[in-house]
């Protein structure tokens, strides 16, 4: 994307911030183009907001939040029952928008919107989950714990799930009584405007969800604003560290999810058909742009028959049909450079996705699915996050050697093992250094009510971003001690 000063003809009007229930212009430092990655066309422009816009949203959120917090949670969640059905009713339009700004193919975009609906389901169940604790702690003296909203919170999102990642945080944070400033990725800003409109249609009061668009300066303003109490961030590890440090330095609670390098350990006894199709689906789904995508297969012993099957499947995949483009020209160039570097270092490219173009969409940023064998753990391609449809195969003699490759990764989002042996499966699940592990599944995403969150440099902060693990993050607990019985004895805490 390039900074442009003049209006360019585009399919959609300029994106605007959403503050206090209305779309408003930003007085920020210019605009960026928003492109459709499938053909490279400019479809809109997004404003680059600064501290003034963030502050404007915070002032509005502050006014709205105290009234919202006073609404009982059973009433607050009614908004999310209605919002969930609006997501389902509008799935065609919402998923088309995801496809247009992010590039993922239709089925993947629909799955993303359905996942957003599932996230609402969990938020709707919060009244059944969060009732406080109460106990008579000494004669006539009762302690209880109640949860209160944190106040004004921020959610900063990446480009790869324009609809789902905002919905990782919106339903739970808002149902728990907070007001939110959402900062979508400047590469995919369109979906969040529709999310805000649908929430308003579902009855969310003005000022509870505000959307402030922009990039680095917007994020820095969020980290520095004194009235924002909590920040959730999802994006690369490099930026997750910046946000975690800067937000914590400003005494906010921060949960920052970072990048990933997910390993699939394939044992020789693994079911060949299931394993080959699952491994390929994990690496190529969403063009490899998922933080749960498998990017390293550690092939243990005699697994050539599985690799041959994978090669056949990958050769049959057609970019533009079975997988979409990557997000930008820069991403395509970066991914292709990693492949070239691995080849030069001695790895064997089994299927090469470089230089791919789709007829009629020559301006698109397509990378064909790529398989690279005989990669060694010391190569950059085996260690760094590629974020594209590329699977490297590292050979290992036994399960411990395979686990060693996984455990030495700086990341720790997901890991999975493919085997028919329960003992090996359990061993790998226990020993893998990752927050989300699986057996015979390529994408071990824990669905609600379980929380989503990795280990190591894939997550900074405590708790998870979804599910039960997020409740602690979005609330403050208050411990109440009461004594109404005049007969209760006198002791050290009277
Ligand atoms: P990114 O880190 O470039 O951007 C994320 C957000 O940070 C965006 O809103 C962006 O505007 C902002 N930002 C970018 N540079 C910044 C800077 N220097 N200072 C402050 N803010 C800045 O990530 P991306 O490219 O949009 O998304 C892809 C990354 O997200 C991958 O690394 C992927 O693994 C990760 N991701 C992780 C998870 C997870 O659950 N762990 C989920 C989805 C995506």
Residue 492 pLDDT:
63
Q: How many independent structural domains does the chain possess? A: 2
- Give the CATH number of the domain where residue 276 resides: 3.40.309.10
- If one residue of 214, 239, 295, 452 were mutated to test the ligand 1 pocket, choosing by the most ligand atoms within 8 A of its CB, it would be 239
Residue 9 lies in a domain: no
The CA distance from 299 to 321, in Å, is 29
Q: Which domain holds residue 339?
A: 262-439
CA 286 to chain centre: 13
The CA distance from 31 to 218, in Å, is 13
- 176 and 62 both lie in a single domain: yes
Q: Which atom of ligand 1 is nearest to the CA of 327?
A: 25
- 227 and 351 both lie in a single domain: no
What is the SS3 assignment for 371? strand
- If one residue of 54, 187, 215, 235 were mutated to test the ligand 1 pocket, choosing by the most ligand atoms within 8 A of its CB, it would be 235
Residue 6 lies in a domain: no
| Residue 143 annotated to the active site | no
Residue 181 pLDDT:
98
Q: Mark the ranges of the chain whose per-residue pLDDT is less than 70.
A: 1-8, 488-494
Instruction: For the chain, give the percent of residues with pLDDT over 90.
Output: 94
Residue 3 pLDDT:
47
Token pair recorded at residue 100: 């247009």
- 123 and 266 both lie in a single domain: no
Q: What is the side-by-side strand order in the sheet with 414-418?
A: 348-351, 370-373, 390-396, 294-300, 262-266, 414-418, 436-439
What lies within 8 Å, CB to CB, of 488 at 6+ separation is 138, 139, 140, 141
Show the ligand 1 pocket: residues with CB < 6 angstroms. Answer: 156-160, 165, 183, 185-186, 215-216, 219, 234-236, 239, 242, 257-260, 291, 385, 387, 413, 454, 458
Q: What is the Å distance from ligand 1's center to 385 Cα?
A: 12
- 280 and 309 both lie in a single domain: yes
- Could you tell me which of 301, 318, 404 has the C-alpha nearest to residue 357? 318
Q: What is the pTM of this model?
A: 0.96
- 87 and 125 both lie in a single domain: yes
Q: What is the Å distance from ligand 1's center to 426 Cα?
A: 33
Q: Which atom of ligand 1 is nearest to the CA of 260?
A: 34
Residue 28 pLDDT:
79
Q: What is the Å distance from ligand 1's center to 328 Cα?
A: 14
- Could you tell me which of 133, 146, 132, 144 has the C-alpha nearest to residue 483? 144
Phi, psi torsion values for 410, nearest 5 degrees: -75, -20
CA angle 279/414/406 to nearest 5° reads 85
- What residue's CA is closest to ligand 1, atom 35? 235
- 180 and 130 both lie in a single domain: yes
- What residue's CA is closest to ligand 1, atom 34? 259
Residue 494 pLDDT:
58
Residue 488 pLDDT:
64
- If one residue of 50, 182, 236 were mutated to test the ligand 1 pocket, choosing by the most ligand atoms within 8 A of its CB, it would be 236
Q: Report the b/e string of 465-486 with b at 16+ CB within 10 A.
A: bbbbbbbebbbeeeeeeeeeee
């Amino acid at each position: 994307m390039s900074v442009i000063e003049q209006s360019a003809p585009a399919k959609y009007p300029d994106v605007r911030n959403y503050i206090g229930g209305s779309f408003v212009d930003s007085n920020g430092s210019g605009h960026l183009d928003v492109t459709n990655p499938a053909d490279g066309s400019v479809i809109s422009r997004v404003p680059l907001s600064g501290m003034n816009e963030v502050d404007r949203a915070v002032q509005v959120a502050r006014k709205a939040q105290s009234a919202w917090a006073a609404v009982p949670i059973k009433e607050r969640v009614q908004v999310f029952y209605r919002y969930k059905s609006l997501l389902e009713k509008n799935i065609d339009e919402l998923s088309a928008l995801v496809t247009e700004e992010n590039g993922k193919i239709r089925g993947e975009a629909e799955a993303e919107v359905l996942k957003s609906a599932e996230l609402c389901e969990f938020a709707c169940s919060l009244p059944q989950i969060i009732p406080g604790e109460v106990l008579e702690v000494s004669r006539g003296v009762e302690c209880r714990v109640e949860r209160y909203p944190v106040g004004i919170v921020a959610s900063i999102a990446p480009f790869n799930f324009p609809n789902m990642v905002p919905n990782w945080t919106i339903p739970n944070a808002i149902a728990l009584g907070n007001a939110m400033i959402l900062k979508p990725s400047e590469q995919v800003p369109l979906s969040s405007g529709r999310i805000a409109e649908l929430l308003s249609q579902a009855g969310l009061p003005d000022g509870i969800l505000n959307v402030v668009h922009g990039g680095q300066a917007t994020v820095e303003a969020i980290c520095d604003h004194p009235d924002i109490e909590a920040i959730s961030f999802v994006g690369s590890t490099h930026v997750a560290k910046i946000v975690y440090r800067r937000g914590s330095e400003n005494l906010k609670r921060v949960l920052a999810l970072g990048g990933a390098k997910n390993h699939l350990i394939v044992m020789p006894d693994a079911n060949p058909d299931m394993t080959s199709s699952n491994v390929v689906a994990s690496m190529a789904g969403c063009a490899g742009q998922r933080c749960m995508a498998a990017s390293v297969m550690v092939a243990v012993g005699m697994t050539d028959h599985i690799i041959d099957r994978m090669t056949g499947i990958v050769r049959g995949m057609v970019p533009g049909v079975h997988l979409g483009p990557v997000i930008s020209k820069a991403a395509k160039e970066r991914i292709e450079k990693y492949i070239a570097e691995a080849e030069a270092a001695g790895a064997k490219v089994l299927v090469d996705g470089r230089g791919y173009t789709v007829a009629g969409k020559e301006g698109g940023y397509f990378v064909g699915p790529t398989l690279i064998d005989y990669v060694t753990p010391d190569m950059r391609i085996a260690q760094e996050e590629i974020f594209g449809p590329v699977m490297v195969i590292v050979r290992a003699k036994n399960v411990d050697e395979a686990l060693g490759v996984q455990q030495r990764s700086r990341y720790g989002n997901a890991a999975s093992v493919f085997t028919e042996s329960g003992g090996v499966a359990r061993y790998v699940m226990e020993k893998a250094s990752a927050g989300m592990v699986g057996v015979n599944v390529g994408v071990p995403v824990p669905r609600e009510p379980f929380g989503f969150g990795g280990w190591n440099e894939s997550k900074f902060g405590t708790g998870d971003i979804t599910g039960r693990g997020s409740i602690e993050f979005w609330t403050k607990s208050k411990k109440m001690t009461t004594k109404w019985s005049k007969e209760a004895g006198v002791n050290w805490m009277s």
